[in-house]
Amino acid sequence: MRTLHVDLGPTWRGGQNQVWLLLRGLRARGVEAELLGREDAPLVHRAGDDSFVVHPIGTSGARWRAAWRLRKLLRRENFEIVHAHDAHGLTAAWLAGAHRRARLVATRRVVYPLGGGLGRARYRSAQRLVAVSHAVAAGLRASSVPAERITVVHSGVELPPLPTEEARQHARERFGLSGSGAVVGSVGMFHPDKGQESLLRALVLLRRDFPDCRLLLAGDGPERARLEMVAHELGIAPAVHFTGFVKEVEQVYAALDIFLFPAVDEGLGTALLAAMAHALPVVALARGGCAEAIEHGRSGLLAADREPGTLAGAVRSLLAPPPAGLADTAEARRLGEAARARIAERFSAEQMVEGNLRVYEELVFAEKSR
């Protein structure tokens, strides 16, 4: 089977990580996988460095450039599957008429319903929509997408080796985290939907009882400057560590005691899954796909909302009593171990790859049998 993957994301986020894991998993199973994407995208660079066939396009007018390049590729090459991994990639595939020359698959990673007009038409052109969670699938059904055209394939992550105490200390030193107080934090793009401001305000409440508690925020985005200003206004700037984009993101997880994920209506959350795979106790919102990943009280904690008091209360339940305030409690360890086991059971990269491959095989073999 020969597959072509389209992702027009200009940065490295959870979606791009999923595409990368899928490309590698398909190749390991003997499935040809090629990538079409922006020439400046980290995913394109990484795939090229790993000897994948890459079809780079320019950055201006990326959707139109991608549609033109894709149309030419499909006229001269035989791909059984074209898989669009983001909305812009799907637009390009639709404009190129990919659904007429191959089986078009589109991944949907957000929970809200489809837009109207042309936005909805491009999704209708796909023979199969892959939803990364049942919450995402519900949003598609609410947009009148027939249930038989939707398949849930959960996002997945690799199960990493757990860091040694020496590695944890090295990671903390890298990010300037000295002292013995608990380190809580998050990984993700700085955007209002991700909820980092709530974490800043929760830290104010936590430090009243646990003055050595620190917050590590990894990532970048349009909200960073404003969030840094909020930290100064709240008087907690010395206790907040903004890392920027970290390529070796496993070092962020190694530095943390508790992972916080206050994103609203997240499709699933690759960063959340990765934190669970690193055996971190996690706190997320009981909304969207997060409620599928976490069994409240068993493999993590689900907060009813992202009010600072609610988040601070969840964290406080995992810390030893003041003045120590350390996160190495029996409850924190229990939740972290259960979180890692849940990833191995339900949300591994292997399961994600197998799920997508089943979709491809169903489409290809169903057509051949007709």
pLDDT on residue 136? 97
pLDDT on residue 55? 98
pLDDT at 368 over 80: no
Question: Closest Cα to residue 318, out of 296, 339, 334?
Answer: 334
- Give all domains of the chain, ordered by start, each with its CATH number: 2-156+348-368 (3.40.50.2000), 165-346 (3.40.50.2000)
pLDDT at 118 over 80: no
Taking only the tens place, the pLDDT of each residue in 154-212 is: 999 999 999 999 999 999 999 999 888 899 999 999 999 999 999 999 999 999 999 99
Question: What is the average pLDDT score of the chain?
Answer: 94
Question: Closest Cα to residue 177, out of 246, 257, 234, 269?
Answer: 257
pLDDT at 3 over 80: yes
CA triple 87-6-149, angle to 5 deg? 60
Taking only the tens place, the pLDDT of each residue in 76-105 is: 999 999 999 999 999 999 999 999 999 999
Tokens linked to 9: 């994301």
In sequence order, which ranges of 29-106 are alpha helices (DSSP H)? 42-49, 62-76, 87-95, 98-101
Asked whether the CA dihedral 246, 196, 192, 302 is positive or negative, the reply is positive
pLDDT at 15 over 90: yes
Taking only the tens place, the pLDDT of each residue in 250-266 is: 999 999 999 999 998 89
**63-67 own/partner pairs: CB under 8 Å, 24+ apart:** 63/8, 63/88, 63/91, 63/92, 63/95, 64/92, 64/95, 66/6, 66/8, 66/36, 66/92, 66/96, 67/91, 67/92, 67/93, 67/95, 67/96
pLDDT on residue 321? 86
Residues in contact with 158: Cβ distance below 8 Å, sequence separation at least 6, in sequence order: 21, 277, 348, 349
Taking only the tens place, the pLDDT of each residue in 227-256 is: 999 999 999 999 999 999 998 999 999 999
